[in-house]
Amino acid sequence: MERKIRELSAMYGVARLLGTKTDLREMLEDILNLLSGEMGMKRGMITLVDKDLQEAYIDIAPEAQKKSIQNIRYGLGEGVTGRVVATGRPMAIPKLDEEPMFLDRTGMRREIDRSGLAFICVPIKHGDSVLGALSVDTVAGPSTQLEDEVEFLSAVADMVAQSVRTRRQMEERRERLERENERLRRQIEKSRPDNIIGNSRCMQEVYALITQVADSSATVLVTGETGTGKELVAHAIHKASARRDGPFVRVNCGALPDNLLENELFGHEKGSYTGATERYIGRFETANGGTIFLDEIGEMSLSAQTRLLRILQEKELERLGGGKPIKVNVRVICATNRDLEQAVQSGEFRADLFFRINVFPIHVPPLRERGADITLLADYFVQKYSQQLNKPVTRINSPAIEALMAYHWPGNVRELENCMERAVLLCQEGVVRAYNLPPTLQLKRKDLENVKGGSLEKMVAAYERDLIEDAIKYSKGNQSKAARQLGTTKRIIQYKVKKYNIDCDRYKSVRSGATTGENE
């Protein structure tokens, strides 16, 4: 009766641990300690089954033996524990010193007299599936006592089986997720172009679009702000396509006057106009069998747009002064930082051409939306210019990284590259520091430092000024757009601009001037 009472008390303790402990490993260790303290069942261990390797390994053991059991494994059917997990039936050894199957690989009983010890090992099962085994040493005694202890330990194993199964499911789920993450990582690495740096989600979407469109001959329209890397996307599409061995010809439509653009694109015959002393092969013919990249296509004249539309539709062109159509096999990729839909509405861009080039649009996100890509790109540019300038610059310190991450990057990747080239030039200690960055990146930090010890009113005003100034920057000095961005009225923005002495015209000139150079 006394033993039954102790068994019931121990079962209650196991149930309490199962209901209150959240950490499974800690819970199982506490259960083994409870069996040792209340039932005299020493050196308890929990062994789990590795189905893939067809073997069992010790997972939970007494604190003193944790290091010694790390690499111990049993083949299914090997020894007492291996036999239990293989058959799913409990085993009891009345006297350990008389059992040849008992291997004692842990070495926990080398200094102990085995003649007074019995060993019990019961399976941990969920339905017909054997998850592992629970084993303990107990005092050798009558067979009836051993049978009772086997029955008791089997009940405990049944109680912990659900928790072990839950843990096993979580481990399998984690392993599946790790395998899936690894597969996705390899897929991303495989699809990520070599010439583009960045792992942010928005860039992964760009990589996926590049992969999807590369093998086709569809016309691609790459959109995005100045300096985001639209030409790199065009290069990546060309390199991933079947035309990779053909030429990649770039034309900046915004850098050529109207009277020269058509000549540059389509070529001319000898004598077609004064000064045309020789035949000139245009860029479309040069790109035959490859790809032509029309950068800043939104700046193309209407007459050039008409001739371009014919090439896209008929796959042929005529040189200036020539009357014979010439077949061309060219993949066309266009890029613009303008809103072409608005240009169509205003009559500056042909609607039929827009629909023809907008077959597969790809939007390149601005740098401020790319998160950790900023630090990746900054590190890349530091390495690039440290090699070019032969300066041993190895890293960027934390304050400089914070300044880079806090800045709004109106010039995008091109601006970041220029900043890092400057920083490497100024760097004297092999580490890029915040004071090596341009003053525009340090203004916000200095403003905040000035009000750090001030009143709440001053600190709120400083943050308000920063928010409004950033909105003015993003909206190119347009106060109405800034008001919409901040969810307020133009009148309030006008009042705040005057209050904080914000120069809106400065951002108009900066932004308009930034669009006059090369886009990519």
Buried b / exposed e across 193-224, counting CB within 10 Å, b at 16+? beebbbbbeebbebbebbbebbeeeebbbbbb
pLDDT at 54: 75
Confidence of residue 9 (pLDDT cuts 50, 70, 90): confident
pLDDT in tens, 379-421: 999 999 999 999 999 889 888 888 898 888 989 999 999 999 9
Residue 339 backbone phi and psi in degrees, to 5: -85, 95
Over its C-alpha atoms, the chain yields an Rg (Å, rounded) of: 37
CATH number 1.10.8.60 is the correct assignment for the domain at 372-440: yes
pLDDT of residue 452: 46
pLDDT band at 518 (very low <50, low <70, confident <90, very high): very low
Per-domain residue ranges of the chain:
2-173, 201-365, 372-440, 451-520
Q: Say whether pLDDT at 178 is over 90.
A: no
- In Å, how far are 9, 405, 507 from 474, measured between CA atoms? 70, 16, 9
pLDDT digits (tens, 9 = 90+) for 333-343: 999 999 999 99
Residue type at position 347: G
**Average pLDDT over the chain, rounded to an integer:** 83
Closest CA to 391 of 435, 434, 436, 442: 436
Per-residue pLDDT reduced to its tens digit, 338-364: 999 999 999 999 999 999 999 999 999
* Range 28-43 burial, b when 16+ CB lie within 10 A, else e: bbbbbebbbeebebbb
- DSSP label at 501? T
Bridge partners of 123, per DSSP, are 133
How many Cβ atoms are within 10 Å of 174's Cβ, its own excluded? Answer: 10
Q: Among 72-76, 286-290, 486-490, which is the least confidently predicted range?
A: 72-76
Single-letter amino acid, residue 157: A
Nearest in space to 231 (alpha carbons), one of 220, 242, 245 = 220
- At residue 366, the pLDDT reads 93
Instruction: Supply 87's token pair.
Output: 């058959």
CATH number of 451-520: 1.10.10.60
Residue 455 pLDDT: 58
Detail the DSSP E strand segments found in 306-353.
316-317, 326-327, 331-336
Report how far residue 253's alpha carbon sits from residue 400's, in angstroms, rounded to the nearest whole number. 38
Look at the block and give the residue holding tokens 């029309």. Answer: 294
Q: Region 42-68: what's the mean pLDDT?
A: 75
Tell me the mean pLDDT in the region 219-237.
94
Contact 114, 122 (CB under 8 A): no
Q: What is the 3-state secondary structure (H, E, C) of 359-402?
A: CEEEECCCHHHCCCHHHHHHHHHHHHHHHHCCCCCCEECHHHHH
Separation of CA 186 from chain center: 12
pLDDT at 251 over 50: yes
Output the pLDDT for position 469.
77
Determine the CATH number of domain 2-173: 3.30.450.40
Mean pLDDT of 77-94: 88
Crossing angle of the two packed helices 2-20 and 24-39, in degrees rounded to 10: 170
221: β partners: 334, 361
Alpha carbon distances (Å) from 156 to 130, 134, 200, 229, 312: 15, 9, 49, 64, 77
Nearest to 467 by CA among 486, 495, 491, 484: 486
- pLDDT (tens digit, 9 = 90+) per residue, 255-282? 888 778 888 888 888 877 767 778 888 8
468: confidence class by pLDDT, cuts 50, 70, 90: confident
3-state helix/strand/coil string of 8-45: HHHHHHHHHHHHHCCCHHHHHHHHHHHHHHHHCCEEEE
Predicted confidence (pLDDT) at residue 48 exceeds the cutoff of 70: yes
Phi, psi of 253 (to 5 degrees): -65, -25
The dotted CATH code for 201-365 is 3.40.50.300
More confident residue, 66 or 228: 228
CB atoms within 10 A of CB 495: 11
Task: Please tell me which residue, 15 or 476, carries the higher pLDDT value.
Answer: 15
CB-based contacts of 19: which residues, under 8 Å, 6+ apart? none
* Separation of alpha carbons 507 and 127, rounded Å: 71
Handedness of CA 27, 30, 36, 38 (dihedral sign): negative
Q: What is the pLDDT of residues 413-453, one digit of tens each?
A: 999 999 999 999 998 888 898 888 988 786 544 444 454 44
Is 98 exposed, middle or buried, given 0-12, 13-18 or 19+ CB atoms closer than 10 A? exposed
